[in-house]
């Protein structure tokens, strides 16, 4: 892993655990073992760092979801794979990077808004298409239009992460997922 990737990984973990306003370049420099000027060489501003981090996170999400699509999986298994992303995030004592940044939206630099929107838009589009395929195959029988069901799922999963972490009750997440999956019919 090169220095830029190391910086991105440490910064991502810090944002997922503390939020964008909960870390500084000094925190990253200490963990990575470089000077603050060296960090500024790679990412001139915190905004530059967060934008690149979010773009990278979105690219990873897209790759993962495309992997689910490339497998000959039924829609239900694809949705389970999607939910597993959230489950893995919680097991790492983190929140979703997009969810954490969305919670801090009023304090974010304008440059961060577009990649944050793209993160959620891609997720919603993928989930909506997967739900429609599941409906067409008879796997799902949800009552809402697929676009609204996708939004419900994203909101419920993001919220379940936050409450589970805040209450130190990982079972809350699993109970929420169980209820959410039951809405698919």
Domains of the chain: which residue ranges? 51-182
pLDDT tens for residues 40-51?
A: 999 999 999 999
71 pLDDT higher than 80: no
Q: Are 98 and 60 in contact (CB under 8 A)?
A: no
3-state secondary structure at position 119: helix
Q: What share of the chain is helix, strand, coil (3-state, %, to 5)?
A: 80, 0, 20
Q: What CATH number matches the domain at 51-182, 3.30.390.50, 1.10.3720.10, 1.10.510.10, 1.10.357.10?
A: 1.10.357.10
pLDDT tens for residues 4-43?
A: 999 999 999 999 999 999 999 999 999 999 999 999 999 9
What is the value of pTM for the model shown? 0.93
Q: Of 42, 53, 58, 62, whose CA–CA distance to 20 is shortest?
A: 53
> From the CA atom positions of the chain, what is the Rg in Å?
18
3-state secondary structure at position 181: helix
What is the residue whose two structure tokens read 């919603």? 124
pLDDT tens for residues 124-159?
A: 999 999 999 999 999 999 999 999 999 999 999 999
Percent over 70 (pLDDT), the chain: 100
The Cα angle at residue 162 between residues 157 and 166, in degrees rounded to 5: 145
What is the residue whose two structure tokens read 């997440």? 173
């Amino acid at each position: 892993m090169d220095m830029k990737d190391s910086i991105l990984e440490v910064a991502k973990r810090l944002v997922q655990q503390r939020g964008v306003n909960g870390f500084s370049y000094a925190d990253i420099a200490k963990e990575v073992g470089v000077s603050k000027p060296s960090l500024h060489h790679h990412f001139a501003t915190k905004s530059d760092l967060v934008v690149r981090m979010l773009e990278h996170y979105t690219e990873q999400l897209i790759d993962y979801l495309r992997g689910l699509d490339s497998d000959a999986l039924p829609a239900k298994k694809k949705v389970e794979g999607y939910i597993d992303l959230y489950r893995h995030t919680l097991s790492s004592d983190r929140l979703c990077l997009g969810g954490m940044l969305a919670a801090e939206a009023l304090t974010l630099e304008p440059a961060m808004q577009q990649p944050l929107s793209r993160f959620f838009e891609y997720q919603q589009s993928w989930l909506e298409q997967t739900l429609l395929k599941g409906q067409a195959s008879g796997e799902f029988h949800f009552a809402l239009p697929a676009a609204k069901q996708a939004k419900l799922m994203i909101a419920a999963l993001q919220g379940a992460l936050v409450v589970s972490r805040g209450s130190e009750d990982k079972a809350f997440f699993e109970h929420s997922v169980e209820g959410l999956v039951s809405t698919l019919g």
